[in-house]
């Protein structure tokens, strides 16, 4: 089998496996954080957690697949190692940046959203929208 084919297969296997592991880890441990941010509203925390995981998969898997197109295809073993390290390294950086962006946004807006849901303001807004429509 050609070194390029093996390199691409390894890149996809490692990157997708890493994405799945990170998503499961964040999902499992993130629910506790979200529950606290949303004022102990477990239903809202679970729902938000699921939506974050779906978005996480979509963005990261899309990035991993698109990244295959860029860069010099490896021609030998050294090129394959460079290819794998740069592609996987970039995927890990994207995973990390997404994680910190989400954590910051949740910490900033989570308590406001939790209060909004607990006070039933979303229902009042929905009723007003129905009457207006």
Distances from the Cα of 83 to the Cα of 40, 64, 93, 105, 116, angstroms: 45, 13, 15, 33, 48
Domain of 121 in residue numbering reads as 3-132
**What is the mean pLDDT for each group of 10 consecutive residues in the chain (133 residues)?**
89 92 87 80 85 90 89 89 91 86 78 63 58 64
Distance CA 84, CA 131 (A): 57
Distance CA 133, CA 13 (A): 50
Residue 41 and residue 112 in contact, taking contact as beta carbons nearer than 8 Å: no
Residue 105 and residue 36 in contact, taking contact as beta carbons nearer than 8 Å: no
Residue 16 pLDDT: 92
Looking at the structure of the chain, the number of domains it has is 1
What is the value of pTM for the model shown?
0.71
Following CA atoms 26, 48, 65, 67 in sequence, which dihedral angle do they give, to the nearest 10 degrees? Answer: -70
């Amino acid at each position: 089998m050609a070194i390029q084919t093996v390199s691409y297969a390894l890149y996809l296997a490692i990157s997708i496996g890493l994405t799945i592991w990170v998503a499961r880890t964040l999902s499992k441990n993130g629910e506790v954080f979200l529950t606290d941010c949303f004022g102990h509203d477990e239903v809202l925390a679970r729902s938000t957690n699921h939506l974050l995981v779906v978005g996480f998969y979509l963005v990261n898997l899309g990035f991993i697949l698109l990244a295959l197109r860029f860069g010099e295809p490896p021609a030998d073993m050294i090129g394959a190692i460079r290819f794998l390290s740069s592609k996987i390294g970039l995927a890990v950086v994207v995973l990390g940046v997404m994680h910190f962006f989400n954590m910051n946004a949740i910490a900033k807006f989570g308590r406001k959203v939790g209060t909004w849901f607990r006070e039933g303001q979303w229902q009042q807004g929905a009723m007003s929208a129905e009457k207006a429509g």
